[in-house]
Amino acid sequence: MTAAAPPGRRHRRPVRVPTVLQMEAVECGAAALAMVLRHFGRHVPLEELRVACQVSRDGSNAVSILHAARAYGLTATGARRELDDLAGAAFPLIAFWDFNHFLVVEGTSRAGLHVNDPASGRRLVPWDDADARFTGVVLDLHPGPGFVRAGRPPGTLRSLGGRLRGSWDGVRYVLLAGAALIVPLMGAPIATQLFTDEVLVPAAPNQAGALLAALAVMIALQLWLAWWQRTVINRFNVRLSVMMASGFLRHALRLPLTFYAQRSVGDVAYRLQLGGEVAQVVSSQLVPALLQVFTAVLYLALMLVLSPALTLIAVAAAVIDVVVLRAAQRHREDASGVVVREESALHATSYYGLRTIESVKASGGEDDLFGKVTGFHARAANARQKLELPFTVISAVPALTAQLATIAVIGVGALLVLRDALTLGQLMAFAVLVAGFLNPIGVLVSLGGALQQARGHLDRIDDLLRYPTPPPPPAADALPAGRLRGEVELRGVTFGYSPNKPPLLDNFSLHVRPGQRVALVGGSGSGKTTVARLVTGLVAPWSGEIAFDGVPRDRLPAPLLAASLALVDQEIVLFAGSVRDNISFLDSTLPDSAVVAAARDAAIHEDVSVRPGGYGAPVADGGRNFSGGQQQRIEIARALSVDPTILVLDEATSALDPGTEQLIDQAVRRRACTTIVVAHRLSTIRDCDEIIVLDRGRVAERGTHDALMRRGGAYAALVTA
């Protein structure tokens, strides 16, 4: 049955909730709660609400959102409601949508539901569409006794100003270049007045030569100063872009793996690009606009000296421009965030599609990929059109008001000239001043649009920059230098990927002595790879402790861990460069002897030697010019090149034949390093000192191969399966 407006209901006027767009699909619940909190006067950063709502790679649930809302002083209850009952509800409320999404309902009308979607912004959903997508679950939220208004919305200018730390010398230089340009600009109306009153009106051509020469000098000076200003701005833009990009990248490299688990690599790379666009706005629009405002004040002062009556006309035109600009600001703020989000999704999808092009072609998925990318492209284009179309109309307003103001000035000024209240030269000079006074208003309209788009860029950049990084490790001299002996211990470790679900590992313990070889086996999802990630520090435990040589991990300096610990996992990463670059991972201090020794132990030396250039032979991006087995062996050689005392192998030899696998195994044993092996192929771990069988994050069995086979338990079942 087609849904219509609920009969017999009086619809309340929809409330207007501040829009907070989600950065990733999994955080819609946190973004929806942020909107409701801001509506009631509590401004909480989205990154803080991610933690409060327990957002994980699987998202969050209604219970977590309710707990978070109560923690901020809201009275929060969950309920089931029919769509017809929403007309009488107290808004705003959070609704569960499509069984996989949270959004804010601002109100109802005869046309449908008025929603504010963290994924796309404010929109109207017709009743029939709402009937198909509304799940009946709502979260009623309103201020409780403990609710406190606090915080303030993020300010674009404040945020941009914070990025100028260390660059104020460049700002002053740009302002100086612009200030120098004011001199010839101010000379133009003065020269116009003198030429009209001293040459044209009295018909005195003998005065024309000097005035025209002075005017030519001012024009030449203006052109040279404009070129100098442009050069200064370009240099400042390059410097600011480099500073922002380096700061972004430095912070991104320190972030934990949990950050990247919820975001696509393409999106993070796109955010790095956004820093350059923000720098462009600051250097080319924001700083020059400050000078334009100062110039407009000088023009206003000159106009007041010439004619206060005509000045009122110019001021009235400026007020109209400002009112129109303010009216359009709210629309652009919402729309610009949607544009950035859609373009980010387009970049991420395109990157992933090209990164996995071999799989796409092998599965015949070219048409599917094309449809997906073009779909995102269309959505991004539509979002940009919605942003730019109103701006096209708005940007015409300053030009129109400037023309009308000029006509009015000439008309009223002509009357003043006829009454001898103004000279003709003063009127001509005033007309030039009006154009100069209103021109900054047009610049401010363009700047307003650029700042609104920059707000969307800043939100995505700050999402990364405000993400907490692990505490810095102790100084390198706090503990003995060199390498770890190789003892690994996990003490009562509990860990999971989602706070909303039971932990994957619960009170897990493991003790590996120096030089010991331990294997982790079990079915898919049993926690083998998770243990490897915990040992290597890619993820941090919820509780418990991880220690090396009896010292907790967080007390060990990073250089010591990097020199002692190496991981080879299932995902092979080879980049465009030489074979040596890929084995040494661009470490120029690593001697060639260490690179060759690692390649020999990884059984890849012979393959490299027969290639033209040997270790200088090129490696294509992703290692496309090497076979799967060769790629895996280069990855193993990279791990061995640092001569680790602790080596973690997570399905590291899955692409190798048994003979090659045996050669590598023998070479690793000769190095006498502690080895933790995660394996599905059980033939590779028969001679391990200990085999640990995991089942749903718990130790089901442990012992040697022979002992476990005699027991006839879970391990024996895996071997005989």
Is residue 336 within 8 A of residue 387, CB to CB? The reply is yes
For residues 172 and 208, membership in a common domain is answered with yes
- State the residue for tokens 């401010």: 444
649: exposed, middle or buried (Cβ count in 10 Å: 0-12, 13-18, 19+): buried
Q: Domain for residue 565, yes or no?
A: yes
Per-residue exposure over 440-459, b if at least 16 CB sit within 10 Å of its own CB, e if not:
bbbbbbebbbbbbbbbbbbb
Pick 101 or 525 by higher pLDDT.
Answer: 101
Contacts of residue 59, defined as CB under 8 A and 6 or more positions apart, other chains included, come to 25, 26, 27, 28, 29, 100
Closest CA to 517 of 401, 675, 389: 675
Whether residues 174 and 243 share a domain: the answer is yes
From the list 423, 369, 412, 458, the residue with the least C-alpha distance to 158 is 458
Query: Is 32 in contact with 94 (CB distance < 8 Å)?
Result: yes
Domain contains 663? yes
Residue 275 host element (H or E): helix 265-281
Question: If pLDDT is split at 50, 70 and 90, which confidence band does 617 have?
Answer: very high
Give the end of a domain, one of 120, 143, 166.
143
515 and 560 fall within a common domain: yes
Residue 16 counted as domain residue: no
Within a domain: 85: yes
Q: Is the pLDDT of residue 603 over 80?
A: yes
Query: Do 126 and 213 share a domain, yes or no?
Result: no
Please say which residue of 427, 442, 465 terminates a domain. 465
Residues 91 and 160 in one domain: no
- Does position 38 have pLDDT exceeding 80, yes or no? yes
Q: What is the mean pLDDT of residues 216-222?
A: 82
Structural domain total, the chain: 3
Q: What's the confidence (pLDDT) of residue 33?
A: 96
Question: What is residue 105's predicted lDDT score, i.e. its pLDDT?
Answer: 94
Given a cut of 60, is residue 501 above it in pLDDT? yes
Are 439 and 508 in the same domain? no
Say whether both 352 and 237 belong to one domain. Answer: yes
Give the pLDDT confidence score for residue 1 in this predicted structure.
Answer: 40
The answer on 170 and 246 residing in a single domain is yes
Containing 694, the helix (H) or strand (E) segment is strand 690-695
List the structure tokens of 524: 């898919």
Is residue 226, in this structure, part of any structural domain at all?
yes
490 with 637, same domain? yes
Instruction: Assess whether pLDDT exceeds 90 at residue 59.
Output: no
Tokens read off for 527: 């926690």
Q: What residues contact residue 664 under an 8 Å CB cut-off, 6+ apart?
A: 601, 602, 603, 633, 636, 653, 656
- The CATH number of the domain holding residue 49 is 3.90.70.10
Q: Check pLDDT > 90 for residue 636.
A: yes
- Assess whether pLDDT exceeds 80 at residue 10: no
Q: How confident is the model at residue 455 (pLDDT cuts 50, 70, 90)?
A: confident
Q: Among 277-281, 334-338, 356-360, 659-663, which is the least confidently predicted range?
A: 334-338
Decide the pairing of beta strands 674-678 and 646-650. parallel
Inside any domain, residue 6: no
Greater confidence (65 vs 181) lies with: 65
Q: Are residues 310 and 386 in the same domain?
A: yes
Predicted pLDDT at 588: 85
Tokens 């009295």 map to which residue? Answer: 202
* pLDDT above 60: residue 5: no
What local confidence, expressed as pLDDT, does residue 2 receive?
Answer: 42
Within a domain: 31: yes
Q: What is the mean pLDDT of the chain?
A: 84
Domain that holds residue 263: 156-465
**pLDDT per residue over 400-431, tens digit each?**
888 888 889 889 988 888 888 888 888 888 88
CATH code for the domain of 408: 1.20.1560.10
Q: Taking 70 as the threshold, does the pLDDT of residue 203 lie above it?
A: no
19 part of a folded domain: no
pLDDT tens for 522-533 read 888 888 999 999
Q: What is the pLDDT of residue 328?
A: 64
pTM for the model stands at 0.71
d(CA 668, CA 662) in angstroms, rounded, equals: 10
| 426 and 482 assigned to the same domain | no
pLDDT reported for residue 101: 92
Q: How far, CA to CA in Å, does 177 sit from each of 112, 455, 567? A: 55, 27, 54
CATH number at 531 reads 3.40.50.300
Give the residue-averaged pLDDT of 171-189. 76
Q: How confident is the model at residue 351 (pLDDT cuts 50, 70, 90)?
A: confident
Mean per-residue pLDDT, 662-668 = 91
Among the three residues 465, 494, 511, which one is the final residue of a domain in this structure?
A: 465
Q: Tell me the three-class secondary structure of 216-237, residue by residue.
A: HHHHHHHHHHHHHHHHHHHHHH
212 shares a domain with 95: no
What is the pLDDT, as a whole number, of residue 396?
Answer: 75
What pLDDT sits at residue 277?
80
